[in-house]
Structure 1
Amino acid sequence: MTTSTPQAAPRRVLAALSGLLLGMFVSMIASTVVSTSLPVIIHDLEGDQSAFTWVVTATLLTTAISTPIWGKLADLVNRKVLYQVALVIFVLATAAAGFAQDPGTLIAFRAVQGLGAGGLAALSQVLMADIISPRERGRYMGLFGAVMAVATVGGPLLGGVITDAFGWRWNFFVSLPIAVAALIMVQRTLPHSTRSEKKVRIDYLGIVLLSAAVSLLLIWVTSAGSSFDWWGVETMLMVGGAIVAAILFVVVEFRSAEPLVPLTLFRDRTFTLSVIASIATGIAMFGASVFLGQYMQMARGATPTEAGLMTIPMIAGLLLASVGVGALITRFGHWKPYLIVGSILLTAGAVLLSTIHYDTDFFLVSVYMFLLGAGVGMTMQNLVLAVQNTAKPSEIGVASSGVTFFRSLGGTVGVSVMGAALATRVTDLFTDSRERIGAVLAGMGAEGQAWAEQLQSGTLPQVSTMPESLRVIVEDIYAQGISSAFLIAVPFAVISIIAVLFLPNTSLSRMTTAERRHASEADLATVSVPEGMDAVTATGSVRVVEDASHRTMDDRD
């Protein structure tokens, strides 16, 4: 006799996943809808390149820090309720950001938005592992990739149209009705997860130390060279503080009864190598989403709507790779070859994007974006799949969120470093082009004086509105700055290839997390021989359990 599982009923699986998919769509659309509008937003709020970077980095930072916290909570309390709480936090913060009157307020609300985004990213993977086995998960992870691709394509396009037609503030309000629908869908379709019998213990000290270490590092990377010298007292204090906080965090995690990030996970080669590869994926994914939109507007003079259209090749690569590879993994059970190809494509895309100029043939830029998108699509979800396949059922939450955390952390640090490199490069190029820009402005009369004041203020200029003679110079400057930023991602991408090559090629299990947990409990019960039962009887009991497990798996096949 077999039990009815969601895997035995695909319709039930799709119904349960519908709420997760809609929640993922909300989080993605709310994030991507402002990507093409950021240059306009920062210009209107009178922010500079540092503010542009921090609007993105603030969300990534809190997402990275909160992801392992949500993952730990997922192993201790009701996961469905946690997911709903994360969705509410995310959407309310997104809506509040629409009322920001200065860059500082916008950055603060974006930081709160990241707290919810961390929960949505971590919990969706954990909840999916509860109801779908690793072997079947590739197919459904393709659906997540498709939703992500649609939101990533539709978001910038929708954001550009809204900005051009109604103003950028409406970008932050557009996700509210979708969020309400997602909450209702999650409540109706997602089954309640089994609560842990363990007493809930939160590693508060670990949270503080991790936050301090990451925050100090990012503030130093973003501000050094502009607000203070690279080798000044501020650098010593920030870098030293980050190192001390990181060391204390490791000590606390070893001594904590319920560590935020169990360092014993790093004994597993699959987890360690997946974390290394995820860092490069995060840098490529978040760096591309931030700086490609800026390249289209600042280096090619596109409007927000046009910038959204021009990034479609990258999303097409991500969509085709994630959906197609997910289906192939479910059909044939092989996952490692796709990770190897994906990491190679990711590296190739990063290398080629580091060569772009303001007048590079757009067909070539499209090919470069497609390669990068395909690389991200092949690696992002499948690295989580590889970890979930080997993680203990009791640690599925922290293992899944661990990979997501380091991906977000890599993206956060990567965007900060790329943004700092871009700002420094652009400043140097403006200085070198001072005479050339001055000559152009002098020939414009009063209009030239107005443009001179805007350029000297440090506020991001609206390149699409500039006169042709000035626009060509500014486009060239920003193109060189953005291409140098992409060069930073290349060495990390090469490291990801090496990490993926050494990943153990473990076969995908056909059992869900819940089934694995029940099987392990049954094995423990039969291995512990009760008094009065001989070894032969006990061995027979183990065989009965194993035979029942095999019959269940055969029935599903």
Structure 2
Amino acid sequence: MTAPLTAPISKRKQYTVFAGLMIGILLAMLDNMIVGTAMPTIVGDLGGLNHFAWVVTAYTLASAVSTPIWGKLSDLYGRKGMFMASIVVFLIGSALAGTSGSMTELIAYRAVQGLGAGGLMVGAMAIMAEMVPPRERGKAQGMFAAVMPIAMVGGPFLGGFITDYLDWRWAFYVNLPLGILALAVVGATLSLPKREGGKAVIDYWGAALLTLGIGSLVLFATWGGTQYAWGSWQIVGLGVLTVVALAAFVWVEKRVAEPILPLQLFKIRNFTMSSVLAFMAGFAMFGAVSFLPQYQQIVQGASATNSGLLLLPMMAGMLVVSTVVGQLTSRTGHYRTFPIIGTAVMAVGTLLLTQLDLTTSSFTSSLYILVIGAGLGFLMGTTNLIAQNSVERHDLGVATSTATFARSIGGSLGVAVLGSIFSSRITDSMTSALGSAGTQFTSGGGQLSPKMIEGLPAPVRDAYLGGMVSGIQSIFLWAAVFIAIGFVVSWFVKSEPLRDFTVASSSTEERVPALAD
């Protein structure tokens, strides 16, 4: 039921609330960017080159499976409390990750971080959706989308600075003051109407089955053809477990009173299309930011700090395009062409990145990265807007969480699949050049930081660099295939009017005025 109208809140208070929400989004995004830049040094310190992709995968997977749960909890219990709870869980994971003494511990603590991160993005976007009607939401989406390029610029730069001048553990400790600030701002400024209705019912079985199914799928994609043969009992077993768990999840969701992922929403065409597009965007984005720093530091010889700066073109492209797209969407009410343009531009960008080799200059690779960023700018805010505009107000939380969930799953599978390809190309190159002796550098916890690679004998170093280039080319070729599928899907998005209903605002049950141009 729509909240009664009262006097509109001031713009100052509105933007103060937005600032707290954007800090929460920044936390979720900044961490992965910092860690991606610091990973070569972390691997050199803790070992476990063959597990390095799991430092990212554990985070994105935990974030993905917890996202729909946070979204549903916010629909049931209230958005403010769940948003603040997710910040607390994220901060606990950050503090623990900084104390890691092994790669296994780091992966486990990153999973705790991911559990909290799953509620940060969906909580912020769902709160914003309650405060701003869809017709005006394009401008707000542009503001929130701007956090991503800021995180992607600041994250790699900060991660590089920490790696070069401090200790990599500060890549995790730096989250603590930001998180405390977000808690303070949101706690002091945000007040949404209380949820009405009876006792909430939590879909525990659905949550457990979804976690089991997605976890098995990521392991299947990660280990298949690398750690285990495709026909091995381990991979076949994971494949069967994935199918059974997800089938059971569908069965449960059709029968429980409060499903964490209402399947009837997928009968809405635009909702389904936006979820697929979000998946494709996540696959390409996480692939780029997870592996490009490796190439830039080891092949192009950039320092950790400079490799962060070399991602600046991607972030600049995202920032400019997402801001313009948000403004155009709010002024015209039209959005259908943006996913089409975005997927087309991203496909071009990923194909350009397949041309990276041992002699590619930083300037050339930056131009390629700029194209990827521009494509992402067309997609990131638009997919959330399409999903939210497709559902009723009471489903805003689960709609937002599903779009975020799809993007996170795309990222999890992207890092897992592309990481597996990347590692296998390096191993193949080392084995081809050095025989069985080459495996000591890439398996069993081999510890190869950029500085160590510089000191290797020329044949070993050349083999390693050749494998890294082959891996980079392969992962972006596969990314281009996925984005091409997204381009086809984007044509099925229908052009529907953006709604302009009255929603709850902060402070009291108020109507929020349109955002200023």
TM-score in terms of structure 1 length: 0.86
Q: Quick one: structure 1 residues 43 and 464, their matched pair in 2 at CA, closer, same or farther if it must change by over 3 Å?
A: closer
2:21 matches 1:24: no
Structure 1 counterpart of 2:7, from 4, 17, 25: 4
Shift in Å, 1:554 = 11
Contact 1:77 1:196 in 2 (8 A): no
2:480 matches 1:479: no
2:64 matches 1:40: no
Contact 2:145 2:380 in 1 (8 A): no
Shift in Å, 1:261 = 0.7
**Residue in 2 aligned with 1:525?**
none
| Identity over aligned pairs, percent | 39
Q: 1:452 & 1:509 partners in 2: Cα distance?
A: 58
Contact 2:228 2:234 in 1 (8 A): yes
Contact 1:17 1:190 in 2 (8 A): no
Instruction: Show structure 2 runs of 5+ residues with no match.
Output: 506-510
Once the two structures are superposed, the pairs formed by residues 407-486 of structure 1 within 5 Å of their partners are 407-434=407-434, 454=441, 459-465=446-452, 466-467=454-455, 469=458, 471-486=461-476
2:491 matches 1:501: yes
- The one-letter amino acid of 1:463's match is P
Contact 2:58 2:111 in 1 (8 A): yes
**Residue in 1 aligned with 2:508?**
none
Q: 1:554 & 1:493 partners in 2: Cα distance?
A: 35
2:235 matches 1:248: no
Q: C-alpha offsets along residues 66-85 of structure 1, whole Å, 9 cap, x if unaligned? A: 00001111111121011110
Structure 1 counterpart of 2:478, from 476, 488, 504: 488
Q: 2:67 & 2:279 partners in 1: Cα distance?
A: 14
2:319 matches 1:316: no
SS in structure 2 at match of 1:229: coil
Contact 1:75 1:196 in 2 (8 A): no
SS in structure 2 at match of 1:433: helix
**Residue in 2 aligned with 1:87?**
87
Q: 2:5 & 2:315 partners in 1: Cα distance?
A: 42
Structure of higher RCO (CA pairs closer than 8 Å, 6+ residues apart): 2
Q: 1:20 & 1:556 partners in 2: Cα distance?
A: 19
- Please provide the CA RMSD for this pair: 2.5
Structure of higher CA gyration radius = 1
Shift in Å, 1:414 = 1.4
Aligned length: 506
**Residue in 1 aligned with 2:265?**
265
Shift in Å, 1:301 = 2.6
Contact 1:29 1:154 in 2 (8 A): yes
Shift in Å, 1:160 = 1.0
Contact 1:279 1:492 in 2 (8 A): no
Once the two structures are superposed, the pairs formed by residues 200-211 of structure 1 within 5 Å of their partners are 200-211=200-211
Contact 2:68 2:405 in 1 (8 A): yes
Shift in Å, 1:383 = 0.7
Q: 2:84 & 2:53 partners in 1: Cα distance?
A: 29
Q: 1:120 & 1:266 partners in 2: Cα distance?
A: 24
Q: Quick one: structure 1 residues 511 and 168, their matched pair in 2 at CA, closer, same or farther if it must change by over 3 Å?
A: same
Shift in Å, 1:248 = 0.7
Contact 1:91 1:179 in 2 (8 A): yes
Q: 1:553 & 1:170 partners in 2: Cα distance?
A: 41
SS in structure 2 at match of 1:37: helix
Moved more, 297-306 or 243-252: 297-306
Q: Quick one: structure 1 residues 484 and 452, their matched pair in 2 at CA, closer, same or farther if it must change by over 3 Å?
A: closer
Q: Quick one: structure 1 residues 454 and 181, their matched pair in 2 at CA, closer, same or farther if it must change by over 3 Å?
A: same
Instruction: Show structure 1 runs of 5+ residues with no match.
Output: 439-450, 516-548
Once the two structures are superposed, the pairs formed by residues 37-436 of structure 1 within 5 Å of their partners are 37-49=38-50, 51-434=51-434
Q: C-alpha offsets along residues 486-535 of structure 1, whole Å, 9 cap, x if unaligned? A: 211122211211222111101212224449xxxxxxxxxxxxxxxxxxxx
SS in structure 1 at match of 2:212: helix
Shift in Å, 1:2 = 6.9
Shift in Å, 1:472 = 4.3
Moved more, 292-301 or 259-268: 292-301
Contact 2:275 2:403 in 1 (8 A): yes
